[in-house]
Chain A
Amino acid sequence: MKQLGLAYFTDTHLTAMGLLIFFCFFVGVLFWVYRKSSTPLYHRMEQMPLLKDGE
């Protein structure tokens, strides 16, 4: 198994598939992060450092 994996390690189809998976995942995260419904949460999160906290 290990030898097989290493033998095909530089197979361009496999690496292209890996790239595609990573890229799709990235685009997915992008959509997820920029959904409108999360605006109130992010608004609260970004205020966190600004709270008066005995600085």
Chain B
Amino acid sequence: MNTTGNLIEKIYYDDDIVKKFTLATMIWGGAAFLFGLIAALQLAYWPMNANLEWITFGRLRPLHTNAAIFAFAGNAIFAGIYHSSQRLLKTRMFSDVLSRIHFWGWQLIILSAAITLPLGYTQSKEYAELEWPIDIAIALIWVVFAVNYFMTLRARREKHMYVAIWFYISTIITVAVLHIVNSIEIPVTFLQSYPVYAGIQDALVQWWYGHNAVAFFLTTPFLGLMYYYVPKAANRPVYSYRLSIVHFWALVFIYIWAGPHHLLYTSLPEWAQTLGMIFSIMLWAPSWGGMINGLLTLKGSWHLLRTEPLIKFFVAALTFYGMSTFEGPLLSIKSVSALGHYTDWIIGHVHSGALGWNGMLSFGMIYYLVPRLWKTELYSKSLLENHFWISLTGVLLYYISLVVAGITQGLMWLAIDKEGSLVYPDFIETVVRIVPLYWVRALGGLLFLTGFLIMCYNIYKTISLAPKNVPDAAVAVERTGFDEVTKEAHRKLEGMGLVFSVLAFLAIAVGSVIEIYPTLSLHKYVNPNNITDPYTPLELAGRDLYLKEGCYVCHSQQIRPIAAEVLRYGPASTIEESMYDRPFQWGSKRTGPDLARVGKKYPNLWHFSHMMDPRAVTPKSIMPAYPWMAEKNTDFLVLRKKLSVMKMLGVPYDQDVIANADIHAQKQAQQIAADLESNGAPKGLEKKEIVALIAYLQALGQKGKAQ
């Protein structure tokens, strides 16, 4: 096989962009971990919410998740992709300008998220909270990245694309598809929109997106990085290149189907739930194939753990990847999900992936990259060792405490005595029991942050002591692989970037279309006899406040057909009950109880007192107080626009209601305010946000014909 070309060229790689993304990773990583620690402390000790709306848990948690995923992991991915791709493709990135637009555009997006989320501008769809102007910006910057990347592929000097490149390609394509499909929304104001999907459609599209954000933002690009940096750091080729091929295709094909495992036992059609469960279990095989391939790459090189301690981070990352990809399929089994879903077990699972897999791999990569990019040695290997062990202890404490908390609380929720009654009928009993474990979790987070700060110091010293003004060295490259004569399809495929990309797209398109398309015909699943009434204008205003305050972060609105759940919350939720919900509010975590049927369960005054000071009605509650809702006015005028957008999306509002939405809302608000006042609440609440929120809460579970 002749793989050599004739011409040797001298080129310069664009390492400046890699440096930029590396430093951004560290800056945003610090922010993400700090937000996470504060949020953890808020759960252990509610006064940490400080009665400040901008940092209340409901708003801080989305800021933390977005910062961790898109700012920390995102910048880490870009750093690694820009660094490794140039070397694997033997070419400089196609355009320095596009690279910089990508970098600065992405940082601006992060900044806009950091401003809008604390202010309460959110779509309330997990990991897709950002409002429509930012969604458009994300799409545009992603296209810039894609153009830059695919043009670089086109200009490559190595015909064959190493497996890491495949993972990067699938990331670029799939993230674009996920983001665009999940973000189709109709703007209402400059920073508010309603999704075109409703109820089960919205739930399915959102968790198709949500799960595949984990798959194609936190897994495939990191696997690409793993396939490059682990062999590089160990100076050994990957254990089995063949396995990596099977790993790639099996993973991208299977992963895309797994989203509905987030919706087991919900009112999502049974077939979609089963499909999600089966594919999640199948996912076990390729995930472990990849993990084993990574670990066995180090076979015969374990002594390097002494001389190259950064490899410890890679070993830990792969071990956590194996652990969380074992646990994921396990949690996707319906009977396990019945116990684990809505509990802290899921949060523990997510963090073993995010801190253990993404975090550790990013740290290993940064320790590998920084000395090479700045042409120096790492300042201190012992600080690196300290970082590793402190972080590892932190992740383990975090994970174990939350798994124990989740299983404990899950069992308490499900416990039924011989008479058929709930053993723990008061939800708060199950919360109080696990608060000590929230402290352990916060300690784990503190250790992880401490380790990270040690890394920051080590990297700062490394860079500041690096020799200055060292010119970039030219690299001699030659074209390879282009003069091969082969009839074998596989070799051709690897050499054909466009065809490869189309096939990767098809692999993810099959599962997406089969799962999403049928649910777009919502009417097929709706029983005409059970159709619900739409929200009144005031209830809709209250609903938007519910989203704004991030109530969905801690409260679900979906009662599963499980005996203990029906006993606790009432009859299982139906498809019809959320058919006008844009966005759906099924939630994914129950730090507080489910609210699907909370309407009319308590008087208005109870809700008022609860929102002003949760402990006034529920002693030992860990919920934040929302005093500003009794001070801020509801925007009644915008309701006409909101209702007209809803009408456009198919919600059956009369023209009269739309045209006089503000008047209808004010009338209902006056009734609620009068009731509150007559029961001892302050006067003059009719214009306040709290009244709109109460109207919405009292409507929950009350809209169906059955009620």
Q: A residues bordering B, Cβ < 8 Å? A: 6, 9-10, 22, 26, 29-30, 32-34, 37-38, 40-51, 53-55
- The residue on A at minimum CB distance from B275 is A15
CB B508 to nearest CB in A, in angstroms, measures 14
Chain B residue numbers with a CB within 8 Å of A6 are 518, 521, 524
A-B contact pairs, 19 of them (CB 8 A): A6-B518, A9-B518, A10-B271, A33-B242, A33-B245, A38-B490, A44-B160, A45-B162, A46-B238, A48-B160, A49-B84, A49-B164, A49-B232, A49-B237, A49-B238, A50-B237, A53-B90, A53-B475, A55-B232
Among B466-523, those with CB < 8 Å from A are 473-475, 477, 488, 490-491, 494, 518, 521
Q: Give 12 A-B pairs besides A47-B237, A50-B237 with Cβ atoms closer than 8 angstroms.
A: A10-B271, A38-B242, A41-B1, A42-B242, A45-B160, A45-B494, A48-B158, A49-B87, A49-B88, A49-B164, A49-B231, A49-B232
Contact partner, A32, options B228, B477, B490, Cβ 8 Å: B490
Tell me, yes or no, whether B13 is within 8 Å of chain A by CB. yes
Chain A residue numbers with a CB within 8 Å of B660 are none
Chain B residue numbers with a CB within 8 Å of A33 are 242, 245-246, 490
Q: B residues bordering A, Cβ < 8 Å? A: 1, 3, 13, 84, 87-88, 90, 158, 160, 162-164, 227-228, 231-232, 235-238, 241-242, 245-246, 249-250, 253, 271, 372, 473-475, 477, 488, 490-491, 494, 518, 521, 524
Contact (Cβ within 8 A) A48 B13: no
- The residue on B at minimum CB distance from A39 is B242
User: Known: A29-B249, A33-B242. Is A50-B232 also a contact (CB below 8 A)?
Assistant: yes
Chain B residue numbers with a CB within 8 Å of A10 are 271
Chain A residue numbers with a CB within 8 Å of B249 are 29
Residue with the greatest number of chain A CB neighbours at <10 A, chosen from B235, B241, B474: B241
Contact (Cβ within 8 A) B241 A55: no
Bound state CA distance, A23 and B231, in angstroms? 31
Chain B residue numbers with a CB within 8 Å of A38 are 242, 488, 490-491
Contact (Cβ within 8 A) A53 B87: yes
Chain A residue numbers with a CB within 8 Å of B475 are 53-54
The binding surface of chain A is classed by DSSP as: helix
Bound state CA distance, A13 and B477, in angstroms? 55
The binding surface of chain B is classed by DSSP as: helix
User: Known: A53-B87, A55-B372. Is A30-B521 also a contact (CB below 8 A)?
Assistant: no
Contact partner, B87, options A30, A42, A45, A54, Cβ 8 Å: A54
Chain A residue numbers with a CB within 8 Å of B271 are 9-10
- The residue on B at minimum CB distance from A41 is B491
Contact (Cβ within 8 A) B162 A49: yes
Chain B residue numbers with a CB within 8 Å of A34 are 242
Contact (Cβ within 8 A) A48 B162: yes
Bound state CA distance, A50 and B521, in angstroms? 52
- The residue on A at minimum CB distance from B489 is A32
Contact (Cβ within 8 A) B488 A49: no
Contact partner, A26, options B232, B242, B250, Cβ 8 Å: B250
Bound state CA distance, A32 and B379, in angstroms? 48
Chain B residue numbers with a CB within 8 Å of A9 are 271, 518
Bound state CA distance, A30 and B250, in angstroms? 10
Chain A residue numbers with a CB within 8 Å of B90 are 53
Contact (Cβ within 8 A) B237 A46: yes
Shortest beta-carbon contacts, A-B, top 10? A54-B475, A46-B237, A42-B241, A46-B241, A53-B87, A48-B162, A49-B231, A10-B271, A33-B245, A49-B228
Bound state CA distance, A49 and B23, in angstroms? 24
Contact (Cβ within 8 A) A45 B241: yes
Bound state CA distance, A41 and B162, in angstroms? 11
Chain B residue numbers with a CB within 8 Å of A44 are 1, 3, 160
Residue with the greatest number of chain B CB neighbours at <10 A, chosen from A38, A44, A54: A54
Chain B residue numbers with a CB within 8 Å of A49 are 84, 87-88, 162, 164, 227-228, 231-232, 237-238
CB A48 to nearest CB in B, in angstroms, measures 4
Contact partner, A50, options B231, B241, B250, Cβ 8 Å: B231
CB B369 to nearest CB in A, in angstroms, measures 9
Bound state CA distance, A46 and B228, in angstroms? 10
CB B409 to nearest CB in A, in angstroms, measures 35
Chain A residue numbers with a CB within 8 Å of B158 are 48
Bound state CA distance, A6 and B87, in angstroms? 48
- The residue on B at minimum CB distance from A22 is B253
Bound state CA distance, A30 and B524, in angstroms? 40
Chain A residue numbers with a CB within 8 Å of B372 are 55
